[in-house]
Structure 1
Amino acid sequence: MRIGSSIALIAIGAILAFALAPGLIPFVDQVLIGYILMAVGVLGLIISIIMAGRTRRTDHIVERRDAPETIIDRRPRPEV
């Protein structure tokens, strides 16, 4: 789940919980479903932000072996 889909779940949940008239959908508690969708959206948003912060770290490791001419440079490829 990405940031956009999390925001969409929050918006759909808010519409179900606050904007629609209660009892519009028979045999379904749409307010409860709206709260559940908003909670899942907020949880997904938090996880997405944490995961986005972890993937932006760069790793610059330079190893030197016996001779100074042999330098191994390990850098991740830039993400597109």
Structure 2
Amino acid sequence: MGLGGCILLIGAGAILTFATDWQTESVNLDLVGLIMMAVGIIGVAVFTSIARRRRAIVPPVTPTYVDETRR
């Protein structure tokens, strides 16, 4: 899941938790929203840690020249 999907989960979870007042007998939408926000936050944390590892700076290798004219 990419960063956009994680942010979408956080936003949808916040809408379910804080902006709706729907009542259902079988599903607690506040809890579903909190779970979606938690999964989104965990996803953002995992994504940034993986992205940080991928962007590790590797020093360039300097080429070694051999002068063939020297004896």
Q: With CA pairs under 8 Å and 6+ residues apart, which has the higher RCO, 1 or 2?
A: 2
Cα-Cα RMSD: 2.1
1:6-25 paired onto structure 2 within 5 Å:
6-23=6-23, 25=24
Percent same amino acid at aligned positions? 36
Higher-Rg structure is 2
- Whether the 8 Å CA contact 1:6–1:42 is kept in 2: the answer is yes
- The aligned residue for residue 47 of structure 2 is 48
TM-score w.r.t. the length of structure 2 is: 0.77
Question: Corresponding residue for 1:34?
Answer: 33
Q: Which runs of 5 or more residues in structure 1 are unaligned?
A: 70-80
Structure having the larger proportion of residues in helix = 2
1:5 paired with 2:5, answer yes
**Structure 2 gap ranges (5+):** 67-71
Distance 1:61 1:11 in 2: 41
The structure richer in strand per residue is: 1
